[in-house]
Structure 1
Amino acid sequence: MLTANDVMTTEVVTVSPETPVPDVARLLHERGISGVPVVDTDGKVVGIVSEGDLIGHAGTIGEQRRSWWLRLLTGEDALARDYAKTHARSVRDVMTTRVISVPDTASLADIARRMEKHGIKRVPVVRDGRLIGIVSRGNLLQALAATDISKDVSADDRTIRERLIADLRAQPWASMLTKNIVVENGAVHLFGFVRSEEERRALRIAAENVPGVTKVEDHLMRREPGGI
């Protein structure tokens, strides 16, 4: 059965608790993502910061004031909490600290249930408390499109995926932040974005050169220069 380890994105954009709020807003915009894990110096996930956490920030959309009647009905502690979050200068004070994460052995069905239960779009994948990847709704859809998720995954398929990801990480032209790989019965499915047809071709050749690969399925999309 497919697990988080078989579909997760291993190149994860992260920030630290000390990252300035404007820097996070720019990062989300430039990467075209809606949230990032917050990790400490040991690589442990200590929070998540999302568009939702930033949308009410005074520095982002301007000062907001509650109506007089809402101020009367809201306790002072809640008002102080709102002020701290809307005026905070670093991620530490705006991030969501209750993080829903999964181990790399979690099944896709379990991950999907957690996303549905908590109304979230992605979950960090952890091993021994440290971040090793992330699974998004997009990753789940890619797996559904490429494989029969009810079947067991062979050790050979996992080895192919790990070998290919390791090979591509060593290549300066292969940006793994925008790509994902799913392998079934020796067939490599390439997902994500490429900047050029040369990059697309190089990815295909890299996959074909991994021992055990029977074919390569190209699901890659072209991202135009300057696109999100």
Structure 2
Amino acid sequence: MQARDIMVSPVVTVGPHASVQQVAKILLERRISAVPVVDPDSKVLGIVSEGDLMHRAASGTERTYSWWLGWLTGDAELATDYVRSHSAKVQDIMTRDVATALPETSLNDIAKLLEERQIKRVPIVNGEGQLVGIVSRSNLLQAIASAKPKLEVSLPDAAIRRRFFDELKNQPWAHTLNVNATV
């Protein structure tokens, strides 16, 4: 299966000048956990997730630093955190380094990308970089839940045993020399 087979389309998006409050409302109303930020040509500029909204001055959840941690962290990081917690515009808080994939990307590659980047969703873009869909972890779970079983139980026992051993022979970790199976 490919990303195009499970992606959600059309995608709820916002522009870079949307307000942080508008994004919070969209996330709540649509029951989603992130929105891609796109330009007028639907090219992905960034993404805003619930995690980007966790430490906000408006909710009293902005990060506080002890004097020694502030000293170790440095002024640049403290200033960045201040802007992220106080800014009213999406362009100031969005994650800019967004991992994207093409519609032809295999689900295996999507799963690897989610795991390696420790992210929860991947925007799907066409060859021109325009957003055409999004794949989240839950979309992968839906693919698993709706998958047909690989093995038909209506087969005779001998056929099931043969398929089992044929599959094991293709696995580099399986040492079938001294293995027996009863079906």
What are the Cα deviations for residues 87-116 of structure 1, in whole angstroms up to 9, with x where unaligned? 111000000000011000000111011001
Structure 1 position 66, deviation (Å): 1.9
Give 5+ residue unaligned stretches, structure 1: 151-228
Partner residue, 2:81:
82
Alpha-carbon distance in structure 2 between the residues aligned to 1:125 and 1:31: 19
Alpha-carbon distance in structure 2 between the residues aligned to 1:84 and 1:42: 27
- TM-score w.r.t. length of structure 1: 0.62
Partner residue, 1:222:
none
Partner residue, 2:143:
143
Answer yes or no: is the 8 Å Cα contact 2:54–2:61 preserved in 1.
Answer: no
Answer yes or no: is the 8 Å Cα contact 2:38–2:46 preserved in 1.
Answer: yes
What are the Cα deviations for residues 20-55 of structure 1, in whole angstroms up to 9, with x where unaligned? 011111111122111111101110001010111111
Equivalenced residue count is: 149
Larger Rg: 2
SS at match of 1:97: coil
Higher relative contact order (CA 8 A, sep 6+): 2
Structure 1 position 60, deviation (Å): 3.1
Partner residue, 1:105:
104
What are the Cα deviations for residues 125-145 of structure 1, in whole angstroms up to 9, with x where unaligned? 000200000111111111122
2:32 matches 1:33: yes
Structure 1 position 64, deviation (Å): 4.6
Answer yes or no: is the 8 Å Cα contact 2:122–2:135 preserved in 1.
Answer: yes
**Kindly tell me: are residues 11 and 77 of structure 1, through their superposed partners in 2, closer, same or farther at Cα, counting changes over 3 Å?**
same
Give 5+ residue unaligned stretches, structure 2: 151-183
Answer yes or no: is the 8 Å Cα contact 2:47–2:95 preserved in 1.
Answer: yes
Partner residue, 1:6:
5
Q: Which amino acid is 1:55 matched to?
A: M
Q: Which amino acid is 2:73 matched to?
A: T
> Which has the larger strand fraction?
1
The percent of aligned pairs where both chains have the same amino acid is: 51
Matches within 5 A, 1:9-158: 9-62=8-61, 64-127=63-126, 128-147=128-147
Alpha-carbon distance in structure 2 between the residues aligned to 1:9 and 1:90: 26
Partner residue, 1:159:
none
Q: Which amino acid is 1:144 matched to?
A: I
**Kindly tell me: are residues 14 and 142 of structure 1, through their superposed partners in 2, closer, same or farther at Cα, counting changes over 3 Å?**
same
Q: Which amino acid is 1:81 matched to?
A: T
SS at match of 1:103: coil
SS at match of 2:83: helix
What are the Cα deviations for residues 42-78 of structure 1, in whole angstroms up to 9, with x where unaligned? 1000101011111112123355532222222221111
